[in-house]
Amino acid sequence: MWEFKLPTQVVFGEGTAGTIAERIAPLGERCLVVSDEVVSGVPAVTETIAALDAAGRFNDVESNPTVANVNALAAVARNLRADVLVAIGGGSVIDCAKAAAAIAPGKDNIERYHTGGAQLEGLPLPLVAVPTTAGTGSEVTPFAVLDDQAQGVKAPMAGPQLYPTLGIADPLLTHSMPKSVTACTGMDALAHAIEGYWSVNHQPICDLLALDAARLVFRNLPTACREPDNAEARHDMCLAALLAGMAFQLPKNAMVHACSYPLSNRFHMPHGAACAFVLEFAIRLNTPAMGGRIEAFARHCGFDTVDAMVAGVRKLKEAGGLPCTLPDAGIPVDAVDTLIEESFHPVTKNNPVEVTVDDLRRMYEELA
């Protein structure tokens, strides 16, 4: 038995951001636009925001959104009596807005739900998510990754209240991404696709989405890194990110993302780069337990063997200038024990192979 759901309405295509005003009109009359200082300066984003008769703007979102960012945004939404949020930016902006939309109707701070163990409840504010990167898929997922700096915890939270009401994916908004962001977000999309496919919770519809998302990444990410104005590559990477988000939103992530959290926390590695850092090892570790499914995945992506696909992952990392070894990432060998200890996030239980300390030690020995 399996289930599939996606309560988010999805609109995809070049120029769709230009229709945002008419699409949000049924959702509310007082919209609060959420972005960040960098994205707000991009001409295509400036035009999109200008088309909205916004009640206010909120740009105070850090690259790793914090619980403080979420609480501040929720407070602004309450003070403005906003009845719809419009998040325009990368995964950080959208995650911050998702969490704020969930708590804005009440009076709670997000810590109660992020690290406090409480379950989100009640109806969130309607949220329109407009991604400007091609990787996180946050516009179609019920997750938000937040940093609680006071407790030293960066972790995801989940709940149906975190699904955006509407996701508008316009590839034209992604053309401004620099090479480093293109590579990191693209590898995040690939990790979402592979982990959704091998999660112990995988199911047929998500499998199909994962297969096509990964195929698109392998075919288009090098071109998008090399030719930032290549419209076809940007289109296909935007689609890959969307499909990958749909692919893992129900099965959830596994060991790759669990290992990525301490790499980002401890060494400030961008999320997509951290996922890519451990992806090759994870593929090799999980393949024997998959009954030929990874071999089929590799063939769908254009590779004759799983080893060839692993080599393809390395080529993607090298093409994007992402770290491939501990020295590349500036990680000392004496930090490995801590990284291993902090890699056992609950999503590790979704992995098809039970991950052990010895497995992770072997992984870091190979990365040394």
Give the tokens for residue 295.
């071999």
The torsion region of residue 252 among left (phi > 0), alpha (psi -120 to 50) and beta comes to: left
Mean pLDDT, residues 295-312 taken together: 98
Does residue 93 surpass a pLDDT of 90? yes
Q: Which residue has the higher pLDDT, 351 or 38?
A: 351
Gap between the Cα atoms of 82 and 291, Å rounded: 51
Q: What is the pLDDT of residue 334?
A: 96
Band of the pLDDT at 344, cuts 50, 70, 90?
Answer: very high
Nearest residue to 126 (alpha-carbon basis) of 265, 9, 275: 9
C-alpha distances out from residue 236 to 135, 230, 232, 306, 351, Å: 11, 10, 6, 23, 28
How does the average pLDDT of the chain come out, rounded? 96
Helix (H) or strand (E) holding 94: helix 91-103
The pLDDT value recorded for residue 356 is: 98
d(CA 192, CA 135): 9
- Integer angstrom CA distances of residue 120 from 85, 171, 240: 18, 32, 29
pLDDT at 152: 82
| pLDDT tops 90 at residue 63 | no
Give burial (CB, 10 Å; 0-12/13-18/19+) of 245. Answer: buried
Residue 145: in which H helix or E strand, if any?
strand 143-148
d(CA 231, CA 341): 43
Q: How many CB atoms lie within 10 A of CB 368?
A: 11
How many residues in total does the chain contain? Answer: 368
> In the chain, pLDDT over 70 holds for what percent of residues?
100
Query: Is the CATH code 1.20.1090.10 the one for domain 177-367?
Result: yes
64 pLDDT band (50/70/90 cuts)? confident
H or E stretch including 10? strand 9-12
What separation in angstroms does the CA of 311 have from each of 173, 203, 273? 31, 27, 16
Tell me the per-residue pLDDT of 225-242, one tens digit each, with 9 for 90 and over.
999 999 999 999 999 999
Tell me, what's the pLDDT at 40?
85
Q: Supply the pLDDT for residue 255.
A: 98
Delimit the CATH 3.40.50.1970 region(s) of the chain: 9-173
* Terminal Cα-to-Cα distance of the chain (whole angstroms): 43
Instruction: Report pLDDT for 151.
Output: 86
DSSP state of 179: H
Return the H-helix or E-strand segment holding 313.
helix 306-319
Q: Specify whether the CB–CB gap between 12 and 169 falls below 8 A.
A: yes
Domain with CATH 1.20.1090.10 in the chain: 177-367
262's tokens: 């301490």
- Note the pLDDT tens digit of each residue in 231-276: 999 999 999 999 999 999 999 999 999 999 999 989 999 999 999 9
pLDDT given at position 149:
87
Q: How large is the greatest C-alpha to C-alpha distance in the chain, in angstroms?
A: 58
Mean pLDDT along residues 281-295: 98
Q: Are residues 187 and 276 in contact, defined by beta-carbon separation less than 8 angstroms?
A: yes
Residue 125 has a pLDDT of 98
User: Model confidence over 7-49: pLDDT tens digits?
Assistant: 999 999 999 999 999 999 999 999 999 999 888 889 999 999 9
117-144: per-residue pLDDT in tens?
899 999 999 999 999 999 999 999 999 9
- Predicted local distance difference test score (pLDDT) of residue 155: 84
Percent of the chain predicted with pLDDT > 90: 93
Domain 9-173 -> CATH class? alpha beta
Grade residue 105 by pLDDT with cuts at 50, 70 and 90: very high
- pLDDT of amino acid 172: 96
Euclidean distance between CA atoms 129 and 101, whole angstroms: 11
Per residue in 161-217, pLDDT tens? 999 999 999 999 999 999 999 999 999 999 999 999 999 999 999 999 999 999 999
Residue linked to tokens 């994870």: 282
CA 44 remoteness from chain centre:
22
What does residue 298 show for φ and ψ, rounded to 5 degrees?
-60, -45
